[in-house]
Amino acid sequence: MLNLIMKNIIKFLTISAILLFVNKSIAQNGLETQFNIGIPANIAAKEISNYTMSLDLAYLFTKGLGNPSKNSEGEIIKMNNNPIHSKTVQYGISAGYLHAFNGENMEDLKLIPIAAALRMYFFNIVSLGGAFGYAVGLDSEVSDGGGYMEASLGFGSPKRALLFTVKGVNLEAGPKFELFTANLGIRFQF
């Protein structure tokens, strides 16, 4: 079992490294990469998955709210030549790959979530965000996909942050999320 987990982690990290390299080579303002490792957060998810890994790419537009922050001398505080606002909103689209690793007796669940994303930064240190969309199933014998949601709490700047996320996928078109995971991750904006 441990050997199978290690093989899956190595495969996933190899794919992640390739996607990060591609992201770096085509980087534009607002392009970001997010990597998460998660565990099941409800009883139904424990039946579907032992753990999950996900990699998301997003393009976000940034809008500062209110007046720019100033230091004690009255000068506008800047980061990378951009004024820092006490509140900043980012909005855009994201797409990624979510892999729910199962035991040896079940097929892994592979999904491509595509979502609209919204995030708010407070003093460029703490962020709250969400994404809503649809997760497309890659293996129709396991799942065709379903509604997708993500809520995130981040600590760090808009360029780099440590994240706690909760992700849910509604696999059976009912009122509940069958795959509901708690995740720890990192986010890089290029």
* Cα-to-chain-centroid distance, residue 37: 10
- Quick: pLDDT tens for 94-135: 999 998 888 666 778 889 999 999 998 887 789 999 999 999
> DSSP 3-state helix, strand, coil percentages of the chain (rounded to 5)?
15, 60, 25
**Both tokens assigned to 79:** 């980061």
Average pLDDT, the chain: 78
| The predicted structure's pLDDT at residue 22 | 47
- Quick: pLDDT tens for 61-78: 887 776 666 767 777 766
| The predicted structure's pLDDT at residue 182 | 92
| The predicted structure's pLDDT at residue 151 | 96
pTM reported for the whole predicted model: 0.73
Instruction: Name residue, tokens 């909005």.
Output: 91
End-to-end CA distance of the chain: 37
- Residue 11 or residue 114, greater confidence: 114
Q: List the domains of the chain with CATH numbers.
A: 2-189 (2.40.160.20)
Residue 9, classed as helix, strand or coil, is: helix
| The predicted structure's pLDDT at residue 28 | 36
Average pLDDT, integer, range 89-94: 90
Confidence tier at 173 by pLDDT (50, 70, 90): low
Q: How many CB atoms lie within 10 A of CB 4?
A: 13
pLDDT beyond 70 at 39: yes
| The predicted structure's pLDDT at residue 12 | 62
| The predicted structure's pLDDT at residue 114 | 93
Average pLDDT, integer, range 39-58: 84
Residues 6 or more apart in contact with residue 32 via CB below 8 angstroms: 57, 58, 59, 60, 187, 188, 189, 190
